[in-house]
């Protein structure tokens, strides 16, 4: 069965996230690495859609590269990030994808990623 070519995921950012205590006191901003991690998790779901109908219990997604990562504006408590990812290439157990995160229609982050499915 062929998987999806595109996926959308939502992350609601709340002040209750523990990283806001230190990043930064009095000026909370979501760390860029966590924005990309959330984007990557959505991308992992896109990749796994290509293995629908197979037993994926003992499979995990490894990210191999991140390219052209850009942060366009800070993400703060109360924001809702809408991640949109598109698969550019799928070969065997590996894929390349491109993604962006949006808050209120404005790009907050973007990246190109390469990932593969491996045995746990």
- Known catalytic residue: 23? yes
Q: Among 28, 32, 26, which residue's Cα sits nearest to residue 14?
A: 28
Two structure tokens written together for 66 = 């991140």
> CA of 42: how far to CAs of 20, 22, 55, 66, in Å?
22, 26, 20, 14
CB 13 within 8 A of CB 77: yes
From the list 23, 93, 96, 98, the catalytic residue is 23
Backbone Cα Rg of the chain: 15
Tell me which residues are annotated as active site.
Answer: 23
């Amino acid at each position: 069965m062929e998987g999806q070519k595109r996926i959308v995921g939502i992350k609601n950012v709340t002040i209750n996230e523990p990283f806001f205590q230190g990043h930064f006191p009095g000026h909370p901003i979501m760390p860029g690495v966590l924005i990309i991690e959330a984007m990557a998790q959505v991308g992992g779901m896109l990749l796994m859609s290509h293995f629908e109908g197979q037993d994926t219990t003992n499979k995990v997604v490894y990210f191999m590269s991140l390219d052209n990562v850009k942060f366009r504006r800070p993400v703060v408590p109360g924001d809702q990030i809408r991640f949109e990812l598109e698969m550019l290439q799928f070969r065997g157990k590996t894929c390349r994808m491109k993604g962006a995160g949006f808050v209120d229609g404005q790009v907050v982050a973007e990246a190109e990623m390469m990932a593969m499915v491996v045995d746990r």
